[in-house]
A and B are shown apart, each in its own frame.
Chain A
């Protein structure tokens, strides 16, 4: 099934040659094998992951303990994807097969931990469950509690969904990464459809996006929800709200009249006013919900909307102003309590941001440092591929400036806020969809590749020349083939792509699950946290050794929660830190409960904040003080009750 080559009417990148995806007709053997390979890959990955023993013993994380069938499954999956992507002259494999393979990839990459254990990874998802629980039990919203109650949108949603569905909150948190990435991919699929009509490129963008998602921001969180809405807003800006602009007048001989004429010369891409108005209304709703749900995402949205509008490629020119008004209103009213004590640009500065986001993270055990380095390398590799892809597209006159803008603008926020040392992670996540689009220009070149088909399509290559002169039958065949599908990668290019995808998958699993020694919790640790909730009377303090601790999923407002790491950040030695912790516990109204878990201690050791011996000494000293008694213990945790 094919149709004549045509040029899409949109922007430069949309000038990619059209190829109609196969959606009907009989299944071909290749498609069946690719689908079966997906099943086998999933079975191998799930089977292998389920044999991993918890706690994870290596400071390299899951990558060191996943048995080899997992990697066989990952390799097979990437090979099957590339084979399906290559397809035949009519295009890639049918949509059902491609969707299935993407689903398997999502399950393998983002569900791996759920196959290892029934307990959600990390601390924050537990805390978010606690906030939703506290919200549902409270009368109104008190913004003075903490930052979460200044941006309660997501927690209101979570409270409603958990209440109405009756689902187990822990199970919701466990599978949230898979659901969130699924939502992101739906939006990214639509978004990519406005950038290219080439189905191979569209599927590969989704694949590369998954392979580059080491940031681990897809857990049950406001930022994951906000990122979904961000992608939806961008999809609407690139689709129903897009504008076509005449050639920019340029900066030489620049005159205001030329600029005004250029601006007035914009025309909407969408011809139906009803869809444009509807898209504008829902965009404003999404921006408002983002403003109510997360601190950082509204700024990313505002920057993206403004940059795209200034490029002349968004039709409603006042959209940035409306977004500014919405954001300002939220900050001035519902979030004012938080902002009074935390001015937005108080921590601004490139040097501070670099130290908090990069240098401070490059410490700890050798394995942990290696994991951090892998994350940096993976990010740099993708950015380098994107930069090369952008240059390649630009030289061929096919660069869509919107993609370059969306890939680059998140960097503007890097020096604006430390964001707990996580700003670079957020920046890389927000840039990733567009970095993936640009990287695909290198990973799946549609022109100038080594494949004769692509050469022939551009009429200036050896294969075409050979075919034109009738020198070989093979070359003529290749050229005829090319006329059908110039975007089909050669065997060699497909092999290189499969290898690249597999390597990216290894790096992503390494980076994403690199903290598994301390962010994958055991049943004993969960039992200890349950004991803490039983032992701690309302009004008392709960003290844990360090983050992450799977606590605060209930009675969020009833206790004051502190970590020893936060209290004694500069010095965890017994002489300095012990009295500090003990005094805090003794003077807490209602007393305190001290929770020492294997995971929190591993966190301190891995990240270089303390040693196992030092922590043992601290615990021994603390347990010998008056009013301190061991109230609960198991293989992975001890709970001490401190009476006031």
Chain B
């Protein structure tokens, strides 16, 4: 897709790769880093990029807040639907990240 930034592509691919390695399992410190990235940082970054945020501090705050709030919403919903497992949450957050990257790619292609 022409006009799509490298950042968007890397973000989407990172979500796929880190979701897989998190599900497969890594040694403890790496597992923690990968899980935090795929559960909080990548979805937060992908969702924040859907907004025209130019201020670095505002962007950083939104990455953290959106990542944590989205994960809370996803986890809570899964508990109420009795389908919760942390693996299901990892997959869902990975899918959210990829969907947000696709939406961003459409924005970039339309420019």
A228 CB contacts on chain B under 8 angstroms = 65, 68
B64 at the interface (CB under 8 A from A): yes
Q: B71 interface residue, CB < 8 Å from A?
A: yes
* Contact A239:B72 (CB < 8 A) given known A163-B86, A164-B35, A165-B36: no
Once the chains bind, are B68 and A225 in contact (CB under 8 Å)?
yes
Confirm or deny: B51 has a beta carbon within 8 angstroms of a beta carbon on chain A: yes
Closest chain A CB from B44 CB (angstroms): 10
B5 to chain A, nearest CB (A): 17
Rounded to whole Å, the gap between the CB of A388 and the closest CB of chain B is 29
Asked if residues A135 and B51 are in contact (CB atoms below 8 Å), the reply is: no
A289 and B79 form a contact (CB under 8 A):
no
Chain B positions within 8 Å of A167 at CB level? 28, 32
Question: Interface residue tally of chain A, by bracket?
Answer: 35 or more
Q: Are B72 and A154 in contact (CB under 8 A)?
A: yes
With beta carbons under 8 angstroms apart, the residue of B58, B72, B79, B84 that contacts A293 is B72
Contact stretch, chosen from A119-127, A273-281, A395-403 = A273-281
Is the CB–CB distance between B52 and A274 below 8 Å?
A: yes
B60 contacts across to A, CB distance below 8 A: 186
**A110-159 interface with B by 8 A CB criterion:** 135-136, 139-141, 152-154, 156-157, 159
**B39 interfacial contact with A, CB 8 Å:** yes
Contact of A156 with B84 in the complex, beta carbons under 8 Å:
yes
Which residues of chain B (28-86) have a CB below 8 Å from chain A?
28, 31-32, 35-36, 39, 47, 50-53, 55, 57-58, 60-62, 64-66, 68-73, 75-76, 78-80, 82, 84-86
CB distance A157 to B68 under 8 Å?
yes
Smallest Cβ-Cβ distance to B26: which chain A residue: A166
Question: Which of B39, B70, B82 is in CB contact (< 8 Å) with A164?
Answer: B39
Given A187-B65, A278-B50, A153 and B90 touching (CB < 8 A)?
A: no
* Interchain CB contact under 8 A, B61 and A186: yes
* A152 pairs with B79, CB closer than 8 A: yes
Let me know if B86 and A275 touch, CB within 8 A: no
Q: Chain B residues near A183 (CB, 8 Å)?
A: 64
Bound state CA distance, A166 and B58, in angstroms? Answer: 30
Binary CB contact string for chain A from 287 to 303 against chain B (1 if under 8 A, 0 otherwise): 01100110000000000
Q: In the complex, how many angstroms separate the beta carbon of B56 from the nearest chain A beta carbon?
A: 10
Q: Which residues of B contact A189 (CB under 8 A)?
A: 57, 61
In the bound assembly, the distance between CA atoms of A136 and B78 in angstroms comes to: 11
**Chain A contact residues, majority secondary structure:** helix
Task: Output the least CB separation between B76 and chain A (Å).
Answer: 4
Please determine whether B51 and A160 come into contact, CB atoms closer than 8 angstroms.
no
Interchain CB contact under 8 A, A190 and B69 = no
Contact with B along A368-383 (1 / 0, CB 8 A): 0000000000000000
B89 near A: Cβ within 8 Å? yes
Q: A240's closest neighbor in chain B, by CB?
A: B58
Question: Which B residue sits closest to A192, measured CB to CB?
Answer: B57
Contact A160 B71 (CB under 8 A): yes
Q: Does A469 contact B (CB under 8 A)?
A: no
Q: Does A98 contact B (CB under 8 A)?
A: no
Q: Which residues of A contact B65 (CB under 8 A)?
A: 187, 228-229, 232, 282, 286
- 1/0 contact string of A234-256 vs chain B (CB within 8 Å): 01000110000000000000000
State whether A282 and B72 are in contact (beta carbons under 8 Å apart), knowing that A161-B39, A275-B52 are contacts in the complex.
no
Chain B nearest CB, measured from A88 CB (Å): 24
* Given known A-B contacts A140-B82, A159-B86, A165-B36, A292 and B76 have beta carbons under 8 A apart: yes
CB within 8 A of B84: which of A136, A154, A190, A275? A136
Inter-subunit contact A166/B70 (CB<8 Å)? no
* Residues in A whose Cβ lies below 8 Å from that of B97: none
CB-based contact B32/A232 at 8 Å: no
- Partner of B35 from the list A161, A187, A278, A292 (CB cut-off 8 Å) is A161
Whether B22 sits at the interface, judged by CB under 8 Å, is: yes
When A156-B79, A157-B72, A289-B72 are in contact, do A164 and B22 touch as well, CB less than 8 Å?
yes
Q: Does A339 contact B (CB under 8 A)?
A: no
Given A140-B79, A141-B80, A160-B89, 8 extra CB contacts under 8 A? A156-B76, A156-B79, A160-B39, A164-B86, A166-B31, A235-B58, A278-B53, A282-B51
- A contacts, CB < 8 Å to B: 135-136, 139-141, 152-154, 156-157, 159-161, 163-167, 183, 186-187, 189-190, 193, 225, 228-229, 232, 235, 239-240, 272, 274-275, 278-279, 282, 285-286, 288-289, 292-293, 334
Interface residues of B (CB under 8 A from A): 22, 28, 31-32, 35-36, 39, 47, 50-53, 55, 57-58, 60-62, 64-66, 68-73, 75-76, 78-80, 82, 84-87, 89-90
